[in-house]
Chains A and B, each alone.
Chain A
Amino acid sequence: MSALLEVSGITKSFDGFKAINNLSFSIDAVELRAVIGPNGAGKTTFMDIVTGKTRPDAGEVLWGEGSRSLLKMNEAQIARAGIGRKFQRPTVFEDQTVAENLTMALRADRSPFAVLRWRPSRGSQARVEDLASEVGLAAQLARKAGELSHGQKQWLEIGMLLAQEPRLLLVDEPAAGMTLAEREQTTTLLCRLAETRAVVVVEHDMDFVRRLNCKVTVLHQGAVLAEGSLDHVTRNPDVIDVYLGR
């Protein structure tokens, strides 16, 4: 199976500090991957580069069957190509209703004039209702997103990501600020999503990663330190040294 995302030899430094140092990395089209690493290992910078927020100093990021370079595209184009990103802090549009938030995220033509002509259809409304019930917000459709609890906002954002139907989902610390029950739900959802697409989870919490039961990539000082199953990487002496030993 060919890789969906191929990151090769990217380097990025901020004021001389090398956040990413010759990082190479690839994700298959259907895969669940956890990326772990201590603070400052370059996890967020890696996501920023893939989603177009930051440009690397060197290296190449290739996407999809045609191996298109993502470095020539802006954030919106990358998102339209099929990369969805879940932020650490839930970012939903608080002044708008849950239904409006989800409708905005629905897969559709994004150009201004197409959006101007867009009208809700029976299909789009059904899709919004389905998504809302999938993330447990079916009863909150008419409420403003700003009135939701922290956990509900997290779920709304996940619902918006699902609405985008991305081929690759980048998830930044999904378990942060969630209760134990919510974490369980999140794990189940992420595993199910990974059955049909690529999901990359950046996480701090080892227990959560263990529950995902997937291939793990350990980042350290902007490069890959180890890769494999969680048991495999936790036996790696380098990993114990820099991350687990602390």
Chain B
Amino acid sequence: MTRKPFILQNPSVLIVLAVLAVFTAAVTAGSAAYGSGVIPTSMVKVLGKTLCLALAAVAMDLVWGYLGILSLGQMAFFALGGYMIGQWLMYARTETIVAASLAQNPIPATPQELQDAVTNQIFGVVGSADLPLVWSFAHSLTLQMILILLVPGLLALVFGWLAFRSRVNGVYLSILTQAMTLALALWLFQNDSGFRGNNGLSGLQNIPGLDHVSQATLSVWFLWASAAALALFYVLAAWLVSGKFGSVVRAIRDDETRVRFLGYPVEGFKLVVFTLAAMITAIAGALYYPQAGIINPAELMPIASIYLAVWVAIGGRGRLYGAAIGAVVVSLLSSWFTGGRAPSINLPGYVVNWVDWWQVALGLTFVLVTLFAPKGIAGIFDWLGGVLPPRRQGRDLGPNDGAFQEAEAKA
């Protein structure tokens, strides 16, 4: 056995990267800033955001499809990443505006006056005059970028350590992750949490220092950044699950007890994957919210994380490209159907309005996929590639679960 390079062992990685490159080039060519302009800037933003969601789905697949933890709190990390970058975006931009208006005063403003004015601008809406402690680093892009990794990473580490150490598993762990994101959302909703309560952070689409760059151009830049992040972390995730580490992680998913008796520290592996996935999700969030322009605590409600799980399930969990495809297809379809542009279906006596019925259709699809096509959309690629599960029809040939069955033995 000779060892092939990583890329050759995983041709799907190459295909995903190629598709991503072609997609990015095509959108750039159609954008208003760099091409013909057939794709409006708002659409470029939607596509850029979709790539960020795909990245979050890839991270979710690491946690769910490979490690076997159905985390229903992944979007907490996504939103935390958004809040961290949002703090700098909002602070730095407000500072520029306030500084410009104070510059017209006959007496130059002191740094303290400047900061007070900025604080007043940002927090006046929640009736606060002091800069909250959590905004101490908001003036520095570098520090906030470090926080994008540090805050969600630490949250995942502490939460995971507590949960995995007490061997909480299965549905109880899912409920716990959901409780985590709900608790965080409820805390952020409070005005005195220091994150502007239910107003959230806004104006994030304006990048301080880049006022001269139009939104059309910025949207393409963010699309590139999102595509680059997706490519980078897709390769990282594929590498992570390819070798012996991936083998152990999948073994933990299938039989945790047995892995313990092999001598592997199961909790350590879970912590590494969970924390890494949280940080990847946070980076996706940090790229998403400047394109969305606004973030508020509603983004952390459990429903957002449940959507993520639905995308991954429909796309095909346990396949990284499945998760990415699921996120892209389902989130784009969702925005089309709920955008009011999908034609209604006229039934005798009732008009099916997609804005009302899309959620029902999505829920039904989720149930059907789980029941009848557990491999999701990725299963189509398996089918095309000729990877078929053994046909288990026919009578048992032996007394045990693992024994061959008539039809298989013949083949």
Q: Name the B residues within 8 Å of A111 (CB-CB).
A: 265, 268
In the docked arrangement, what's the CA distance between A89 and B86, Å?
A: 54
Q: Name the A residues within 8 Å of B261 (CB-CB).
A: 51, 75-76, 79, 84-85
Q: Would you give the 0/1 interface string for B234-272, flagging 1 where the beta carbon is closer than 8 Å to chain A? A: 000000100111011011001101101111111011011
Are B254 and A94 in touch, CB under 8 angstroms?
yes
Are B402 and A96 in touch, CB under 8 angstroms?
no
Tally of B interface residues using CB under 8 Å: 32
A79-B260, A110-B265, A120-B3 as given contacts; A93 in contact with B255, CB under 8 Å? yes
Considering the complex, give the chain A residue whose CB is closest to the CB of B264.
A110
- Within A146-166, the residues touching B (CB, 8 Å) are 146-150, 153, 160, 164
A75-B261, A79-B263, A153-B402 as given contacts; A119 in contact with B243, CB under 8 Å? yes
Q: Name the A residues within 8 Å of B248 (CB-CB).
A: 104, 115
In the docked arrangement, what's the CA distance between A51 and B258, Å?
A: 12
Contact of A79 among B255, B262, B403 (CB under 8 A): B262
Q: How far is the CB of A204 from chain B (nearest CB, A)?
A: 18
A104-B244, A149-B403, A149-B404 as given contacts; A80 in contact with B258, CB under 8 Å? no
Q: Name the A residues within 8 Å of B390 (CB-CB).
A: 147
In the docked arrangement, what's the CA distance between A116 and B266, Å?
A: 14
Q: How far is the CB of A122 from chain B (nearest CB, A)?
A: 9
A79-B260, A80-B263, A116-B245 as given contacts; A93 in contact with B402, CB under 8 Å? no
Q: Name the A residues within 8 Å of B384 (CB-CB).
A: none
Are A160 and B262 in touch, CB under 8 angstroms?
yes
Q: Name the B residues within 8 Å of A115 (CB-CB).
A: 244-245, 248, 264, 269
A125 within 8 A of B: yes
B398 within 8 A of A: yes
Contact of B258 among A93, A118, A150, A153 (CB under 8 A): A93
B1 within 8 A of A: yes
In the docked arrangement, what's the CA distance between A116 and B263, Å?
A: 16
Q: Would you give the 0/1 interface string for B108-137, flagging 1 where the beta carbon is closer than 8 Å to chain A? A: 000000000000000000000000000000
Are B247 and A96 in touch, CB under 8 angstroms?
yes
Q: Name the A residues within 8 Å of B265 (CB-CB).
A: 76, 110-112
A91-B255, A94-B254, A104-B244 as given contacts; A164 in contact with B263, CB under 8 Å? yes
In the docked arrangement, what's the CA distance between A79 and B262, Å?
A: 6
B105 within 8 A of A: no
In the docked arrangement, what's the CA distance between A118 and B240, Å?
A: 11
Q: Name the A residues within 8 Å of B166 (CB-CB).
A: none
Contact of A75 among B244, B250, B260, B399 (CB under 8 A): B260
Are A112 and B398 in touch, CB under 8 angstroms?
no
In the docked arrangement, what's the CA distance between A75 and B257, Å?
A: 9
Q: Name the B residues within 8 Å of A80 (CB-CB).
A: 263
Residue among A93, A148, A160 with the most chain B CB within 10 A? Answer: A93
Is the interface on chain A under 10, 10 to 19, 20 to 34, or 35 or more residues? 35 or more
Are B263 and A110 in touch, CB under 8 angstroms?
yes
A228 within 8 A of B: no
Are B263 and A149 in touch, CB under 8 angstroms?
no
- Within A90-107, the residues touching B (CB, 8 Å) are 90-91, 93-96, 100, 103-105
B400 within 8 A of A: yes
Are B404 and A95 in touch, CB under 8 angstroms?
no
A177 within 8 A of B: yes
Q: How far is the CB of B237 from chain A (nearest CB, A)?
A: 13
In the docked arrangement, what's the CA distance between A51 and B248, Å?
A: 20
Contact of B244 among A74, A85, A103, A150 (CB under 8 A): A103
- Within B353-411, the residues touching A (CB, 8 Å) are 390, 398-400, 402-404
Q: How far is the CB of B396 from chain A (nearest CB, A)?
A: 11
In the docked arrangement, what's the CA distance between A150 and B398, Å?
A: 9
Q: How far is the CB of B283 from chain A (nearest CB, A)?
A: 20
In the docked arrangement, what's the CA distance between A125 and B260, Å?
A: 23
Q: Name the A residues within 8 Å of B254 (CB-CB).
A: 93-95
Q: List 29 A-B contacts (CB under 8 A).
A: A51-B261, A75-B257, A76-B260, A76-B263, A76-B265, A79-B261, A87-B258, A93-B250, A93-B258, A96-B247, A96-B251, A104-B244, A104-B251, A110-B262, A110-B265, A111-B268, A113-B272, A116-B243, A116-B272, A118-B243, A118-B245, A120-B1, A125-B1, A147-B390, A149-B398, A149-B404, A150-B403, A153-B402, A164-B263
Residues in chain A within 8 A of chain B (CB atoms):
51, 53, 74-77, 79-80, 84-85, 87, 90-91, 93-96, 100, 103-105, 110-113, 115-116, 118-120, 125, 146-150, 153, 160, 164, 177
Residues in chain B within 8 A of chain A (CB atoms):
1, 3, 240, 243-245, 247-248, 250-251, 254-255, 257-258, 260-266, 268-269, 271-272, 390, 398-400, 402-404
- Please give 8 more A-B residue pairs, beta carbons under 8 A apart, in addition to A115-B244, A115-B248: A53-B257, A79-B263, A80-B263, A95-B254, A104-B244, A111-B268, A112-B272, A146-B402
The 8 closest A-B pairs by CB, nearest first: A79-B263, A75-B260, A80-B263, A150-B400, A112-B272, A116-B245, A91-B258, A93-B251
